[in-house]
Homo-oligomer: A and B are copies of this chain.
Amino acid sequence: MTTGNAMHELVRQLYPITRSITGNGVRETLQHIAEHIPVELHEVATGTNVFDWTVPKEWNIADAYIKNEQGERIVDFKKSNLHVVSYSVPVKQMMSLSELRPHLFSLPEYPDRIPYRTSYYSESWGFCLRHEDLVKLPEGTYEVCIDSKLSDGSLTYGEYVLQGETEEEILISSHICHPSLANDNLSGIVLATFLAKALQLNPHRKYTYRFLFIPGTIGSIAWLATHQEHVKKIMGGLVLTGVGDSGLLHYKKSRMGNSRMDAAATAALQESGLPHGVLDFSPFGYDERQYCSPGFNLPVGSLMRTPHGTYAEYHTSADNIDFVSPKSLEEGLALCQRIFAIFEGDVVYRNQFPFCEPQLGKRGLYEAMGQVPDEARQLQLAMLWVLNLSDGEHSLLSIAQRSGMEFSLIRKAANLLVEHAIIL
Interface residues of chain A, those whose CB is within 8 Å of chain B, are 50-53, 85, 105, 117-122, 124, 126, 217, 220-221, 224-225, 228, 255, 282-284, 289-290, 292-297, 351, 353-359, 361-362, 368-370, 381, 384-385, 387-391, 403
Contacts and interface: CB of A to CB of B under 8 A. Distances in A.
14 contacts: A52-B359, A85-B369, A105-B370, A119-B368, A124-B369, A224-B356, A225-B355, A282-B385, A282-B403, A284-B384, A292-B388, A294-B351, A294-B390, A295-B354
Contacts of A120: 368
A369 B118 contact: yes
Contacts of A225: 355-356
A294 B357 contact: no
A32 B412 CA distance: 47
A269 B211 CA distance: 47
Contacts of A284: 381, 384
Contacts of A381: 284
A52 B353 contact: yes
Contacts of A118: 369
A290 B117 contact: no
Contacts of A369: 85, 117-119, 122, 124, 126
Complex A-B, nearest 5 residue pairs according to Cβ-Cβ distance, in ascending order: A295-B354, A283-B388, A295-B355, A294-B391, A283-B384
A403 B284 CA distance: 11
Nearest to A287: B356
Of A224, A284, A293, A387, the most chain B CB neighbours within 10 A belong to: A293
B121 A387 contact: no
Given A361-B121, A362-B121, A293 B368 contact: no
Copies in the complex: 3
Contacts of A355: 51, 224-225, 228, 293, 295-296
A178 to B, nearest CB: 15
Nearest to A390: B294
A403 B224 CA distance: 26
Nearest to A118: B369
Q: Which of A124, A224, A295 is most buried by chain B, counting CB atoms within 10 A of its CB?
A: A295
A46 B362 CA distance: 17
Contacts of A403: 282
A355 B51 CA distance: 7
Nearest to A402: B280
A424 to B, nearest CB: 14
A284 to B, nearest CB: 6
B385 A283 contact: yes
Nearest to A381: B284
Contacts of A385: 282-283
Nearest to A387: B283
A268 to B, nearest CB: 24
A354 B119 contact: no
Nearest to A295: B354
B368 A53 contact: no
Query: Which of A353, A355, A389 has the most CB atoms of chain B within a 10 A radius of its CB?
Result: A355
A21 to B, nearest CB: 13
A166 B7 CA distance: 63
Given A117-B370, A283-B388, A369-B117, A359 B105 contact: no
Given A289-B384, A387-B283, A220 B356 contact: yes
A353 B351 CA distance: 46
A221 B282 CA distance: 47
A392 B256 CA distance: 15
A121 B293 contact: no
